[in-house]
Amino acid sequence: MPTLADEFRGWLGQSRRRIGELGLEPRIEHVGRVAQIGDGVATVTGLPETRLDELLVFDGGVKGLAVDLGEQAIGCVLLGDTGGVTAGSMVHGTGVVARVPVGEALLGRVVDGLGSPLDGGALVVAETLAPVEQPAPAIVDRALVTRPLATGLLVVDAMIPLGRGQRELIIGDRGTGKTAIAVDAIINQRASDVICVYAAIGQKASSVAQVIEAVRRYGAPEHCIFVIGEADAAPGLQWLTPYSACTMAEYFMTHGRDVLLVIDDLTKHAAAYRQLSLLLRRPPGREAYPGDIFYIHSRLLERAAKLAPERGGGSLTALPIAETQAGNISAYIPTNLISITDGQIYLDPRLFYEDQKPPVDVGKSVSRVGGKTQAPVLQELSESLRLEYAQFLELEVFTRFGTMVDERTRKVIAHGRRIRAVLRQPRFAPLTLGEQVALLTAVSEGVLDDVPLDRVDAFRSGLGSWLAQHCPEAVSPEDRAATLSEHDRLTNALKALARAVAMPMTADRP
């Protein structure tokens, strides 16, 4: 029978063996403590080696970014739920700046600003990690914007054309269809090789779900990445979202691909940043925004570029969205963004309520780059369209007072109303270049002038199948080199369609 001493000896031997097996080696770890914690920000002490924008990990796994480095303490923006983190809990320095996974593995996924999946799928196994903040491409690495980016919306493609590598602001009041334009642009890329990245900042979960659903239903979701910082996400994560999305988009640009980045929206991004800055006790400036509010948006949008051929020739087109209050585009954040971007698409609430959707105000909208990239055949037609439309808008105001007008003016107004009807377009129904050219030909040839106004929609929706049947390849190929080879035949086909839709009882009505 073993004595107590034997048992003890055995136990001692075992313990020695176990300790001997343990691989003990020295490890340097930077550890600090939380001095103060509040809504989305924390003050940390005892991490003297921390770098700017370094990722810190709190007890419980929540991450934070060091954004203020002081002599005594570090100001840190939290990137997740702060439950469990208290004053006095430990903070670990990681020695690396915030990075996100990039690569093909992200295509078709819904992730947050740190690249963690939100779609219930597996963790994203990326090729590499890339820093969320990267310098914009240098001037020598850039090339001129030469290729168009078709949105499938006639009013945009004809009047405010976009080029690959351009930055175009979509601006308007609440609920005027800003997201709808961006989503239509994404959906139209189902017919192209453009990769789309949609970044949602401070949006309601239901709005985000609608966007994802629309792209899954009508677009090519396998070419899209959704980076979501919802309204209830930590403000730090909302602030980080567009930078992460831009990094994910840049990966494809540097690999020679064309990318479309939608940032929905930068007004909420500015508000999230203001909240963080005030909590970090940075001095408030105009409208309580911090002094660097212009810089945080310009350094983001400067990353959109068309790269030179020796850099792979890829491009990143940015479509930031901004919300205005009562149509005030001269407010602080809107003016900042207008001056950073290469033009804006202004959505007018008055047009929206008049059911002119998409409610693009062509007078206040401009594209300073894309005009040169437009297919010449479309360019020619839209030039006269712009002129005729502007003329009509001026005359229409005049006739609102009930002034008697002569026959010629009446014709110009009737023609203008057809143009306006043609520029109206339902959602999820992008037009091909051929259909756009055909529609504008119908306008310029006066084919639509005899079609009742309420039948113009039927003309547009029937156009695609009618052309395929009666005049295929009138406009080809479907890119910048497109030419209109059979003008007369196309006009005749359009006239026949106009007759068919104008007579609702006709049997061959489309």
Write out the residues near Mg ion by the rule CB under 5 A. 179
For residue 141, which amino acid is it?
D
Strand-pairing partners, residue 343, are 367
Distances (CA, A) of 428 to 225, 231, 258, 352, 492: 19, 26, 22, 17, 28
Distances (CA, A) of 423 to 161, 170, 204, 328, 464: 14, 17, 30, 24, 16
Q: Which stretch binds ligand ATP (CB under 6 A): 37-45, 114-122, 154-162, 175-183?
A: 175-183
Active site (annotated) includes residue 109: no
- Selection from Mg ion, ligand ATP, none that 221 binds (CB < 5 to 8 A by kind) is none
- Identify residues 203-262 at the interface with ligand ATP (CB under 6 A): none
Distances (CA, A) of 287 to 276, 284, 291, 487: 15, 8, 10, 56
Told to check if 151 binds ligand ATP by CB under 6 A, we report no
Taking the complex as a whole, how short is the minimal distance between the CB of residue 341 and Mg ion, in angstroms? 18
Taking the complex as a whole, how short is the minimal distance between the CB of residue 216 and Mg ion, in angstroms? 18
Q: Which stretch binds ligand ATP (CB under 6 A): 167-175, 232-240, 248-256, 477-485?
A: 167-175
Our measurement of the distance from residue 158's CA atom to the centroid of its chain's CA atoms, rounded to an integer in Å, reads 21
Of 427 and 495, which has the nearer Cβ to ligand ATP? 427
- Identify residues 46-85 at the interface with ligand ATP (CB under 6 A): none
Taking the complex as a whole, how short is the minimal distance between the CB of residue 319 and ligand ATP, in angstroms? 12
Applying CB under 6 A, among 82, 179, 324, 373 the residue interacting with ligand ATP is: 179
- Selection from Mg ion, ligand ATP, none that 426 binds (CB < 5 to 8 A by kind) is ligand ATP
Beta strands in 211-289 (DSSP E): 224-229, 258-264
Q: d(Cα 240, Cα 202) in Å, to the nearest integer? A: 11
Strand-pairing partners, residue 101, are 129
Applying CB under 6 A, among 54, 157, 258, 323 the residue interacting with ligand ATP is: 323
- Selection from ligand ATP, Mg ion, none that 323 binds (CB < 5 to 8 A by kind) is ligand ATP
Q: Which tokens sit at 264?
A: 């929905």
- Selection from ligand ATP, Mg ion, none that 174 binds (CB < 5 to 8 A by kind) is ligand ATP
Of 236 and 358, which has the nearer Cβ to ligand ATP? 358
CA dihedral of 334, 337, 341, 344, whole degrees rounded to 10: -20
Told to check if 152 binds ligand ATP by CB under 6 A, we report no
Of 193 and 232, which has the nearer Cβ to Mg ion? 232
Q: d(Cα 387, Cα 248) in Å, to the nearest integer? A: 41
Of 115 and 242, which has the nearer Cβ to Mg ion? 242
Told to check if 327 binds ligand ATP by CB under 6 A, we report no
Of 209 and 387, which has the nearer Cβ to ligand ATP? 209
Of 80 and 172, which has the nearer Cβ to ligand ATP? 172
Taking the complex as a whole, how short is the minimal distance between the CB of residue 183 and ligand ATP, in angstroms? 7
Told to check if 177 binds ligand ATP by CB under 6 A, we report yes
Q: Which stretch binds ligand ATP (CB under 6 A): 140-148, 173-181, 283-291, 391-399?
A: 173-181
Taking the complex as a whole, how short is the minimal distance between the CB of residue 95 and Mg ion, in angstroms? 39
First-to-final CA distance of the chain: 101
Token pair 């921390």 in the structure block, residue = 50
Among candidate residues 368, 417, 424, 427, the one labeled active-site is 368
CA dihedral of 461, 148, 159, 242, whole degrees rounded to 10: 100
Q: Which tokens sit at 57?
A: 């990990």
String of DSSP letters for 36-83: EEETTEEEEES-TTPPTTEEEEETTS-EEEEEEE-SS-EEEEE-S--T
Asked if residue 36 lies in contact with residue 281, where contact means CB atoms within 8 angstroms, the answer is no
Q: Which tokens sit at 468?
A: 């395929």
Of 294, 344, 33, nearest to 178 by C-alpha is 344
For residue 84, which amino acid is it?
G
Indicate the length of the chain as a whole number: 510
| 3-state secondary structure string across 368-403 | CCHHHHCCHHHHHHHHHHHHHHHHHHHHHHHHCCCC
Total residues binding ligand ATP (CB under 6 A):
14
Told to check if 426 binds ligand ATP by CB under 6 A, we report yes
Q: Which stretch binds ligand ATP (CB under 6 A): 54-62, 234-242, 423-431, 487-495?
A: 423-431
Q: Which tokens sit at 167?
A: 């930055």
Asked if residue 497 lies in contact with residue 463, where contact means CB atoms within 8 angstroms, the answer is yes
- Identify residues 338-367 at the interface with ligand ATP (CB under 6 A): 357-358
Q: d(Cα 167, Cα 370) in Å, to the nearest integer? A: 10
Of 41 and 156, which has the nearer Cβ to ligand ATP? 156
Of 204 and 281, which has the nearer Cβ to Mg ion? 204
Our measurement of the distance from residue 353's CA atom to the centroid of its chain's CA atoms, rounded to an integer in Å, reads 25
For residue 336, which amino acid is it?
N
Told to check if 178 binds ligand ATP by CB under 6 A, we report yes
Taking the complex as a whole, how short is the minimal distance between the CB of residue 168 and ligand ATP, in angstroms? 15
Taking the complex as a whole, how short is the minimal distance between the CB of residue 384 and ligand ATP, in angstroms? 25
Q: Which stretch binds ligand ATP (CB under 6 A): 47-55, 107-115, 425-433, 465-473?
A: 425-433
Told to check if 174 binds ligand ATP by CB under 6 A, we report yes
Q: d(Cα 389, Cα 348) in Å, to the nearest integer? A: 16
Of 50 and 179, which has the nearer Cβ to Mg ion? 179
- Name the residues that contact ligand ATP, by CB under 6 A: 172, 174-180, 323, 357-358, 425-427
Active site residues: 368
